[in-house]
Amino acid sequence: MATLTAFFEARLGRLYGFRFRDFADFKSCPPSGTISSVDQGIGAGDGARTVFDLTKRYDDDQAACERRIHKPVEGTVAIAVDGVELDAAVFAVDLTTGTVTLATPPANGAVVTAGYEFDVPVRFDADRIDVTLESFAAGRMAAVPLIEVRV
């Protein structure tokens, strides 16, 4: 309780956001899977473009949604062009925006894909945490709601 309370107070309640690992959805593949450089399509080459945004696609039989990934985890991003994984030395990843910059533009029509882990930018959704002291050395803390920060 003390650690969470200190973290909460350091962010001044809901004023400042932070990175949060949602273990139900933190990879470009299913949570139990292994990341692959071909997990998610992030664009197509045109012979000039070198900057691509990390995205994750969610779909079912009824609809599809594409989510922009802003907080990839350092050292986890893998990129491929037309199914061929690139060496990490030929691309750069901005860990605060989720933008990938390739050293050379992919050929016209080449499919650019990515695999990665990511965090979600969130903030607390309350200005106080409810704590119940049950005895001198024990207490109980209610659920602490979080809200995703849309960048």
Q: How far apart are CA 14 and CA 16, in angstroms?
A: 6
Percentages helix, strand, coil for the chain (3-state, rounded to 5) are 10, 40, 50
Is pLDDT at 144 greater than 90 in this prediction?
A: no
Band (128; pLDDT cuts 50, 70, 90): confident
Token pair, residue 116, equals 């990665």
User: Where is average pLDDT lowest: 10-19, 36-45, 104-113, 114-123?
Assistant: 10-19
Of 49, 69, 46, residue with least CA distance to 57: 69
> Residue 78's beta-bridge partner residues?
115
Q: How far apart are CA 113 and CA 85, in angstroms?
A: 9
Token pair, residue 151, equals 């960048």
The whole-model pTM stands at 0.86
* Secondary structure in 3-state letters for 10-57: HCCCCCCCEEECCCCCCECCCCCCCCCCCCEEEEECCCCCCEEECEEE
Query: Residue holding tokens 């399509």?
Result: 41
Percentage of residues of the chain with pLDDT beyond 90: 75
Is pLDDT at 137 greater than 70 in this prediction?
A: no
Which tens digit of pLDDT belongs to each residue from 47-105?
A: 999 999 999 999 888 888 999 999 999 999 999 999 999 999 999 999 999 999 999 99
Work out the average pLDDT over 37-55.
97
Token pair, residue 1, equals 């309780």
**CA atoms within 13 A of residue 83's CA, in its CB half-sphere:** 0
How is the chain split into domains, by residue range?
2-148
